[in-house]
Amino acid sequence: MNSKDLKKGVLYVVATPIGNLEDISMRALRVMKEADIIVAEDTRHTKAMLNAFQISTQLISLHEHNEKEKSVLIIEKIKTGKDIVYVTDAGTPCISDPGYFLISKAHDENIKVIPVPGPSAVIAALSVSGFPADSFVYCGFLPSRDNHRKKYLKTLKIEERTIVFYESPMRIMACLNDLRDILGNREIVLAREITKKFEEIRRGDISAIIDELTDRKIKGEITIIIKGEKIAATLLSDEEIKQKIAEIKENSDVSLRDAVAEVARNTGVSKKRVYEIGIKFGKK
């Protein structure tokens, strides 16, 4: 039998609990027990979870520092018929976690990739926010440097959709102050330590949240949900629309056509009017 006759294995992308072990699914447990190998972001962390469920499947590591090198080896194992599970430390892999390179390589090799869905801090926080979630913007972790964070937040100033991102407890107060200064005193939800013993969900305007957290030592993983900006299209002048086009082009380095589409989507102003204004001011 040559290599072409071998049946390829499968790559399972498995979501694991973000805190409370009871959130693991029966399917996730079965897949991890039956797999040949479990690939984990941190084998020590995953080993503790597997021990809790009496799972003894072989563990190997794959993290952001060795992902490209290890992915090649893992793909070769799958091509020889091994079924592999990929997990990160908590939640759904690839959502602000490593793994996309491995999964992309699997697709390139025509390997079957199967999601085993489960916990996600983004979705959990959205579900209890009380903000519209039919369409939202997920930003991952904001830039850690103050000037980069401020510049990035300016690109979200006219975003009408609900905005979701993660933040470090060490930067949360600086982040909240930047949010208020740049986006205005909007209503937000701060979700901390979701599903864990000290879970905390706070909702209010940014100033109120800042007051509540001042002088507190904040710990744990934090998800921020921001209510989108509502803009009355009929109240926008040509000059204001021109400014919005300029801001998007400056911060995102996109074409006029793309900037026009974004301004029209975020303001409700027709694409025709926005485009005409962009052309008009572009000639000056």
| Spatial contact of 62 and 102, defined as CB atoms under 8 Å apart | yes
| Total number of domains in the chain | 3
- Whole-angstrom CA distances from 165 to 50, 221, 223 are 29, 11, 6
Mean pLDDT (the chain) is: 91
Q: What are the residues facing 226 on neighbouring strands?
A: 163, 188
Q: Quick one: DSSP state of residue 54?
A: T
Domain boundary among 96, 119, 142: 119
Tokens representing 143?
């830039």
H or E segment to which residue 108 belongs: helix 100-108
| Spatial contact of 129 and 225, defined as CB atoms under 8 Å apart | yes
Mean pLDDT score, 22-35 = 98
Assess whether 173 and 113 both reside in one domain. Answer: no
pLDDT above 80 (res 266): no
Assess whether 158 and 238 both reside in one domain. Answer: no
Mean pLDDT score, 108-128 = 96
CATH of the domain at 196: 3.30.950.10
The Cα 225–Cα 202 span in angstroms is 10
Q: pLDDT tens, 218-258?
A: 999 999 999 988 765 557 888 888 888 888 888 777 888 88
- Residue 255: which domain range? 233-282
For the chain, helix (H) and strand (E) counts, in that order, are 11, 10
Tokens representing 225?
């949900």
The answer to the question of residue 84 being in a domain is: yes
Assess whether 94 and 152 both reside in one domain. Answer: no
The answer to the question of residue 247 being in a domain is: yes
CA dihedral for 3, 6, 7, 12, sign (positive or negative):
negative
Q: pLDDT tens, 46-103?
A: 999 999 999 999 999 998 888 888 999 999 999 999 999 999 999 999 988 888 999 9
Give me the pLDDT at residue 1, please: 41
Report the percent of the chain where pLDDT is more than 90: 69
CATH of the domain at 112: 3.40.1010.10
Q: 24-33, 49-58, 120-129, 226-235: lowest mean pLDDT where?
A: 226-235
Assess whether 221 and 249 both reside in one domain. Answer: no
Mean pLDDT score, 198-217 = 95
pLDDT above 80 (res 122): yes
List of E strands, 24-183: 37-40, 58-61, 84-87, 112-116, 136-141, 162-167
Q: 18-22, 87-91, 193-197, 242-246: lowest mean pLDDT where?
A: 242-246
Assess whether 132 and 191 both reside in one domain. Answer: yes
pLDDT above 60 (res 212): yes
Domain boundary among 86, 119, 152: 119
Assess whether 13 and 77 both reside in one domain. Answer: yes
Domain boundary among 119, 146, 180: 119
The answer to the question of residue 1 being in a domain is: no
Give me the pLDDT at residue 268, please: 76
pTM of the model: 0.77
